Structures are given as structure tokens and as C-alpha cells.
Structure 1
């Protein structure tokens, strides 16, 4: 494990955001990964299925030397919820010393039309939620309160859709739980409205034929509740690119995917002065070029999202509040 001196050193990677909040007197480091889409039996596509094991392994190896307090995934661990892909992912993250937690993404939960045996959401919770909890969950990590939601669905809701929803019971749970936390950080797979609006704006400006990825069905209720309790930060995934927005007093940071361009994860330091978030690549220069080429030539939608990612990488840091 790294020494406290090593922990205070500037880590490799690019500064994505420097935030005034959240803050905590107890310095806490998190690794946030998103959308690994691990696939052990398929190759190709812009998700680089043939490289997903290597990218996850690279992320795990890098995180393991960072002295993190926990690693969290904001969903889409697997290609489409296959048990064998979850099993392989668990083998890879077993090399992490710190706790690992995950919420489900829309490709992790059962959906109509899959021709394989999906992992039920209850078993997903057994593997990746804190001990004895399901979704939503609350766990204290260092000086941070992690609140994990299931926006992706289950056998009971969103079975016919890849859209997102924060169910009424989860909204009620948040309403009760947020006041009990000192430093809440919310985890959700799907994005807040302002993040989705970035996709609409890019389509209108640059890619009129691109499709809009599935969005959250009831984001206004969710945003209103977060603002009512002055929740400072939400981490999301889903769109496979790094980005940042603000909804009232709430900041959303979207983590990039490990599977496709720009392959990486987020290293998050929360301390007395605020929160610093760095983008750490999990592919070398050649791998990044391959990822860019495959995604930019896959479809109009993939090309549009790749363009959005490239623009945001060129404008790092996306947020600097200090």
C-alpha cells in the first residue's frame, strides 16, 4: 500500500474537475469506473469487446496501486447481463484490496429479448451491494456517504426498455436518507436532464442523424429531491464519455467507459478543500487511436458520442471551482 506521502502526491492522469463540494475532514479516495461491458465470448463493435478483459485488468492494476478507500462502478459491468461475464469480472476485481461496489446498468439487468440466462437483480445485489443491502444502498467510505441507486430496472420494471427511472420507493428512501448523511455522493447509471441535453445539442449542431440514447423517464422528481437536500455530487455513466453539468446546486459528473474511446476511469479525491477528479486512461496511445477509429466509424450515433468525448477531453478541466 502507498504511504500517506505517496497518497498526497499528484497522481498521473488529467484533471477533469476541481469542485468546492463535497468536502470532508477525512481525506477519501475513490476510483469510479463505468460501462466495462465485459465480454468473454464476442469480438468487435465499437465497444471493443475483444479488449474489454484487458481494459478492466488495466484499470484494476492501476487502481490497486492508488491506495483507494473503495472502487465503485456506475453500471453496465457486462455486455448484456450474462452470468459468465459477471464471473470473469469478479475474477478480475478480486485483485483489489479495497471494497468494490456497483449499481446495475441497463445492460446488467434482465431485458425482454435476451436469449441467455440473466443474473437476477437480487443476485447482482448479493455480489456488488454492501453486505446485507440491496438497491438503494448506503455505505460509508472514509468520510463519504455513498448512496447507490438502481435506475436500470429489474424483472419488475423497465423490462421492455433501456431507459432509466428512479422509482417512487427509491425517491422516498433518498428523502429519508439524505438528511442523515454528512457527505453524500449519489451513484446512478442514467443521466440528469442537462447531461442528456448535451447530446441533443451535439446532434443539432453536428450530427443531425444520430439517435438519442435511452434517457431517464422521471428526472425532474429526482433532481428536485437532490436539490431539496442540497446533495452536492452525482456520478453517472451510460453515455461512454467524460462530461459535467450542474442542475441547481447538484453537480453531475459522467464517468467515461473503460471499454471504448476514451478508455479510462476516474480517480476521485475528497478532502477539506473540496473534490478533485482525474481521468486515468486504461489504454496506451495506440489503443486510444484504435478505440477512436472503431467508435467513430461504427454508426452515426457512435460517431456523435465520440465527437462529444473528444471535445470534452480537449477542454479539460471541464470544471474548476477553485
Structure 2
């Protein structure tokens, strides 16, 4: 099975540069002709604040011919703890409903070529919303019936280095969710794929391979975010083999520009203060 993975497109009518990079990604994907496309979240620049951005994103992404499976990110539906205390809006069930109406289910699974592919809404983790417990129960029931390799897709990476990383960090899943997923994935071949960090990295942690997808939209400079992997805009191809093997490649189409988020106050006015702080 051949998959194209895109993440952190940050689409909005005002985000012309980010829209153009997403269009370059779509053009490349259409040429490659995958079996499906998975969007790992932060589809919109700020759907959590402006739900009209969902329709803009839906129209742009409708150019894809392959089936599209989207997951919500913090910019789409708000963030879960431990983002409390940051300037991120908190998770909103109302925004989640608007995400679903425009972009489809936020939790999904399908099986092909011996693999089970599962999409999770990481923004529900530790949110206190009733759907967090429902999602956990759904996942446990699905995995109980699976015997082959599993590919798990979500917006936030589960871990930086280990499932016991402390203290909790807003860029990674909360400790309780990490431990729960580690228990469910124990003793089975697994691949965990995420976005959110705007960096590309692959790492073996415990029994699972962890793969980070880059952003198509922009990079965060080292003055704002530590370098944990490769900082380059692009997308990933992922090929899953019936024997449980997998192969991923980073792709940066020629038409895609490596934007620095600090150069785009028309999308995120708060970067002006970030620029001043970095000087």
C-alpha cells in the first residue's frame, strides 16, 4: 500500500504562501498517485478561532484524487493539556463538530495488505471531554481483534524519547495517554506516525517505530523551537508491505518554499512579538 502523508498545512484565505505550498504538495501527490492520502492535522491556520477556514481547506484539498483521511490538530479544534497556560485555545467540542462536517471523521481505521491503519484524535487526550474515554474504549476494542502490524496516525507525537518523559510538554501527548497507548501496542509490530513538530524524524522507541512528518507550510527557527529532527518543509511517502515492512521517504517538491513562520504576521500576528524577543 502506498500512502502520501501531509501535515501542518495551516490553510486559510489569508495564508497565500502556505496555500501555495499545499498546492505544490497536491500537484506532486497527484503525479505519484498513492492509494490514499493522510493529513496529520493542523489542516487550518486557525480553525479553532475561525471556523470558516474549514471550508477553505476542504475546497483546496478536494483537488486530491485519492481517498483523503484527515486528523484534527491544535490549530483546528484547540489543544489538550498540558497546553494549559499557553496561548493555545483549549479543545472545543463545537470546533470538532465543525471539523467533522467539513473534513470527515476524526477517528478511523481501515485494513489493507496485512496492515491495520488507525487514525486517532490526539486533541482529545486528557481534555476532560467525554469523547476521550469513548475513543480509548474504541481503540482498545479495535486492537483486541488485530493480529498483524498496526500503523497508528495522530497529530501530536506520543513521545520525545520515552513513554515516561516528564514533565509533560505541549508538543507531545500527555503522560496518561502515552502509557495507555504503550500498553495497547505492547508486543505487536507498530508504526506511530505524527505531525505537529514541523520536523522530520524517525526513531525506534520501545517496540514501535516513531515517524514524524514535516509541515508543508513553514519552519520554526531554532530561536523559537529546538532542533529535534530535520527542519525542512515537505511531505512523506509511506509504503507498507504485506510482510510487515515499511519504507518512508521525505519529499520536498521544487515549487515548495521553506517559509519561516516569523516572516508571516499576516497569518499569525503574534510572531511580531516573537521576532522582537529573538533580537
TM-score (norm 1): 0.63
Conserved? CA contact 1:194–1:247, under 8 Å? no
Alpha-carbon distance, 1:50 to partner: 3.6
Give 1:192-271 correspondences, 5 Å limit. 192-195=158-161, 213-217=170-174, 218=176, 219-228=178-187, 230-261=188-219, 262-271=232-241
Quote the Cα distance in structure 2 between the aligned partners of 1:153 and 1:80.
Answer: 18
Quote the Cα distance in structure 1 between the aligned partners of 2:78 and 2:235.
Answer: 26
Match of 2:34 in 1: 68
Unaligned runs of 5+ in 1: 1-27, 42-48, 160-165, 201-211, 304-322
How many residue pairs match? The answer is: 239
Quote the Cα distance in structure 1 between the aligned partners of 2:120 and 2:46.
Answer: 19
Structure showing greater relative contact order (alpha-carbon pairs closer than 8 Å, 6 or more residues apart): 1
Unaligned runs of 5+ in 2: 80-86, 220-231, 265-270
Conserved? CA contact 1:194–1:245, under 8 Å? no
One of 122, 131, 152 as aligned partner of 1:151: 122
Q: Equivalent residue of 2:22, what SS?
A: helix
Distance 1:113 1:107, change over 3 A: closer
TM-score (norm 2): 0.72
Quote the Cα distance in structure 2 between the aligned partners of 1:138 and 1:284.
Answer: 32
Match of 1:307 in 2: none
1:116-169 Cα distance to aligned partner (Å, 9 max, x none) = x9963134234434xxxx443212356542211111139x9368xxxxxx9333
RMSD: 3.5
Conserved? CA contact 2:12–2:53, under 8 Å? yes
Alpha-carbon distance, 1:294 to partner: 4.8
Quote the Cα distance in structure 2 between the aligned partners of 1:139 and 1:292.
Answer: 35
Quote the Cα distance in structure 1 between the aligned partners of 2:97 and 2:52.
Answer: 17
Match of 1:162 in 2: none
Quote the Cα distance in structure 1 between the aligned partners of 2:55 and 2:203.
Answer: 34
One of 10, 35, 43 as aligned partner of 1:77: 43
Quote the Cα distance in structure 2 between the aligned partners of 1:225 and 1:118.
Answer: 26
Conserved? CA contact 2:78–2:88, under 8 Å? no
Match of 1:175 in 2: 140
Match of 1:5 in 2: none
Quote the Cα distance in structure 1 between the aligned partners of 2:145 and 2:53.
Answer: 36
Conserved? CA contact 1:31–1:68, under 8 Å? yes
| Structure 2 residue 9 is matched with structure 1 residue 36 | yes
Alpha-carbon distance, 1:280 to partner: 0.8
Give 1:1-322 correspondences, 5 Å limit. 28-41=1-14, 49-81=15-47, 82-110=50-78, 120-129=95-104, 134-140=105-111, 143-153=114-124, 157=127, 167-181=132-146, 182-195=148-161, 213-217=170-174, 218=176, 219-228=178-187, 230-261=188-219, 262-272=232-242, 274-282=245-253, 284=255, 287-288=257-258, 290-291=259-260, 294=263, 299=274
Q: Equivalent residue of 1:178, what SS?
A: helix
